[in-house]
Amino acid sequence: MENGAAREGGDPSGFLSEIIGAPVVVKLNSGVIYKGELQSVDGYMNIALEKTEEFVDGVKRRAYGDAFIRGNNVMYIAAED
Amino acid sequence: MASQILPLELIDKCIGSRIWVIMKSDTEFTGTLLGFDDYVNMVLEDVTEFDYTGTNTKRKRILLNGNNVCMLVPGGSGPVTEASS
């Protein structure tokens, strides 16, 4: 950022390509949280997750091997630290 | 009239600094703005999420969907410090 160049992963598409394959937290507008490995995302923020765990009010409810989340429900995608 | 600053130019000036994001719902975020796109989807770093329950959740880096964003406050330090000041 010092030389005025955009930082790696700075803009949304750069960030997404950087976190593909990484463990992520996806929060929906309903408040439900999905944790899993990010398999892919598209421009609608449709998301494919692997090894998915579902949390409702912080309590684990279900697990899915593979899950597709429709993008309109997504509030944010966080890279798990 | 040559010096009008467009709304998105204002947000562009905020890249690299702290920003306070207020959603349409009760959720609010503060974090360092790393970037955004035409839909005002935003990449934020060192994020605190403020829940309507008063819960604060820390996240290192998030991509926030612009669809449910209501307001952006440049340099805003969030609802907690605002209330305590």
This complex has an ipTM of 0.86
In which band, very low, low, confident or very high, does the pLDDT at B80 lie, cut at 50, 70 and 90?
Answer: low
Specify the 3-state DSSP secondary structure of A15: helix
* Terminal-to-terminal C-alpha distance of chain A: 22
* B64 to chain A, closest Cα gap in Å: 4
Three-state SS letters, chain B: CCCCCCHHHHHHHCCCCEEEEEECCCCEEEEEEEEECCCCCEEEEEEEEECCCCCEEEEEEEEECHHHEEEEEECCCCHHHHHHC
In terms of DSSP bridges, do strands B69-74 and B56-64 run parallel, antiparallel, or are they unpaired? unpaired
- Give residue limits of the domains in chain A: 2-79
pTM of the model: 0.87
d(CA B53, nearest CA chain A) in Å: 11
pLDDT digits (tens, 9 = 90+) for A19-40: 999 999 999 999 999 999 999 9
Q: Residue A38's pLDDT is what?
A: 96
Answer yes or no: is pLDDT of B2 > 80. no
Residues A26/A33, Cβ–Cβ less than 8 Å: yes
Confidence of residue A81 (pLDDT cuts 50, 70, 90): confident
pLDDT of residue B54: 85
Whether B11 has its CB under 8 Å from any CB of chain A: the answer is no
The partner residue sitting opposite B41, judged by closest CB among A10, A12, A81, is A12
Which top CATH class is A2-79?
mainly beta
- What pLDDT, in 10s, does the model give residues B34-76? 999 999 999 999 999 998 888 899 999 999 999 999 999 998 7
Identify which has the larger pLDDT, A67 or B2. Answer: A67
Kindly determine whether residue B61 and residue A15, on different chains, have CB atoms separated by under 8 Å: yes
pLDDT at A3 over 80: no
